[in-house]
Structure 1
Amino acid sequence: MTVNATGSNYLNNISNTPSKTDQSDDPLGRDSFLTMLVAQLENQDPLNPMEGTDFSAQLAQFSQLEQLMNLNDTMLELKTSFDESTEGNVMEYVGKKVSVNMDEMEVLGGSVSGGSYTINEPSDIMVSITNDQGNLIRTLYLGGQTSGTHTINWDGKDSGGNIVADGTYNYTIMANTGSGFVEVPSTKTGIVEAVIYDNNKPYFIIDGVSIDANSLVALYKDEDTSPPASIADYLGKNISSNAPVVLLESGKVSGEELAFELDAPQDAVVQIYDHNDQLVKSIVLLSDETKEGTNLVEWDGTDQAGNPASDGLYYYTVETAESVIRPPVADLVSGIRYYNGLQYLVMNDSGRLVSPNSITSIN
């Protein structure tokens, strides 16, 4: 679920209309208008009294003025009631378990707000920051970090040392625990400890980190708060992951073809990397070889030179003229696979492997 701010924005616009003020600050209020009208009647020429039509017109103007002022008062009361209700609704999340998106930072006047991530084990961390066009602005190499929640310390500058324009920037966290960089889930799940306001905007405090309340994506019932006790509890469940890996064993690629989604037929390049983030092979697809929706491409387990690639874990990205993505996967967990001392979930149809740390949702 999300926190809808549409109504608040609409009523904020209403607040820009003239507001109710004291009569001393409003010389053309109700009382002033009536005083002027009575004075006009008292001082009219008895030999040339005011026409009845003129008097009726002025009374109509007064009636319209009164109705508009009453309407303005009503809308201000409605806005106040709505603001109090919205604030109360946000406060109701305190003590609740929620999931929030954590992939945006705000830049205003060179000052950066937001930006945090959570890792379950010590890892080397790399942060990629992109603008609203999806263009890479800067890559931060944060080095070794302990498990837990961390704040991203970005100075608001691009890779050339220039201060970026004000706006919203997205970031992607990549973590390496010793077997290559994998993307850290962009969602965070935890208990809302408090709600604070900054520039009249509500923020959740989760694990000591402030997170925009509008990033709320899920609210959990009490019975949903217990995570799986062991990796075996994932068996038979449908899960999603944004960091599936491909196993190459005895020269054979496990599972089906490499899958990815496109909005329309277009040129695309499938880039295959090893666990050290070294490019192994590029598969170029022209627009007449792709389609809208799900696309499949086969990797024969060889490198760019046509030589057999080493057995191990690989991942792939898809590059188009618009973006570079790492395709997610959603499937039924059909097994558990141990590789190099680590546990992975086997996705039923695709055959992809998924680390429990990269799971983004469980159904």
Structure 2
Amino acid sequence: MNDFLPSITAGNENYIKALQENSNPANNSEALNGMEQADFLLLLTTQMQNQDPSKPMDATDFVTDLTQMGQLEATNDMNASILAMTASFNNLQTMQGASLIGKNVQIEGDKFSYSSEQPSSFSLNTDEPFIDITIVISDDDGIVKELSYADFLSDREKASWDGVPNKSIEWDGLDDVGAARGDGVFSITAYGTDSTGETKSINTVVGSRVNTVGIGADGSMTLTLATGEKVAMDTVREISG
């Protein structure tokens, strides 16, 4: 029977070996993952050339091989599409990150950067009503200025104020004696007196300039602020020019 089979040459020996391994279902998935479409076609052609004429390839096996070739092609196309989508997403993230540099972002925290060219605003993060609220701005040398939230309300706003501090406040950069403190990083704390007379601290939402943007391998964006803090993009509440 061997007289009917052409000899296995060095050119097709590796494909015959791969064919034998591929006939094992346990190796089938791994073999497909490492093959290109051209490899599969050459393997199938070699199999047909070296089949025993007295026992030709079963039609079912042939259809199975063709199906596997189709699956291989579909998998390769899908992988190429995923890689293209990933590259596009990364490019978009990079462009979005670059556009944030120099912008002012609002985040919950107690440090903010002040610039005479880009005044900083901040707000108080609470839904609880207070009778009065005090805001303290300080730097490394101590207290710079104490502010009363009520001073930022107009007479009309004061008349209708329900005690919930929902207005954004902008600091002019002046200290308690009216001197300009210059550009820099400052801290802020806020506290208020509620209807029972208890004094409570209030969380603040502050503004800071974005100095650099980092993009992780998973596409997540990390902002380095002028305060030196690193914050995740999903913690940003507002972005302004």
What is the TM-score of this pair, normalised by structure 1? Answer: 0.33
Q: Pick 1 or 2: higher relative contact order, CA cutoff 8 A, min separation 6.
A: 2
Q: Which structure is higher in strand share?
A: 1
Q: Which structure is higher in helix share?
A: 2
What is the TM-score of this pair, normalised by structure 2? Answer: 0.47
| Structure exhibiting the larger radius of gyration computed from Cα positions | 2
